[in-house]
Amino acid sequence: AQKITQTQPGMFVQEKEAVTLDCTYDTSDQSYGLFWYKQPSSGEMIFLIYQGSYDEQNATEGRYSLNFQKARKSANLVISASQLGDSAMYFCAMSVNNQGGKLIFGQGTELSVKP
């Protein structure tokens, strides 16, 4: 069965520093996609970044990068130069080819950025 594990319920980071949020996944499928979403206190889900299982380069989107280590089945999110507005819940998710667009989410990591 497919599963996403986020082992950090909460994280703190100092403003302007970088932070890594951990995500490991489990699937026997060879074709899958990995996503990160941000959920601020207002509740909406904001797409941040996507990595395909066949992509050789790590995905980057502005201050967000995804550290994809396929052999270790990890897809950590790196946020560089943290800002106060980065304080939010962060969810890692996976979609598997043979299950269409179904997203399986991890339990989330609550990030707090300190001034």
Partner 1 sequence: DAGVIQSPRHEVTEMGQEVTLRCKPISGHNSLFWYRQTMMRGLELLIYFNNNVPIDDSGMPEDRFSAKMPNASFSTLKIQPSEPRDSAVYFCASSLDISYNEQFFGPGTRLTVL
**Sign of the CA dihedral with 9 first, then 107, 75, and 87 last:** negative
Nearer residue to partner 1 within complex by CB, 102 or 114: 102
3-state secondary structure of 112: strand
> Contact at 8 Å (CB) between 110 and 89?
yes
Q: In the range 76-95, which residues lie near partner 1 by CB under 8 A?
A: 91, 93, 95
Nearer residue to partner 1 within complex by CB, 7 or 14: 7
Q: In the range 32-51, which residues lie near partner 1 by CB under 8 A?
A: 32-33, 35, 37, 43-47, 50
Binding residues for partner 1 (CB under 8 A): 32-33, 35, 37, 43-47, 50, 52, 91, 93, 95, 99-108
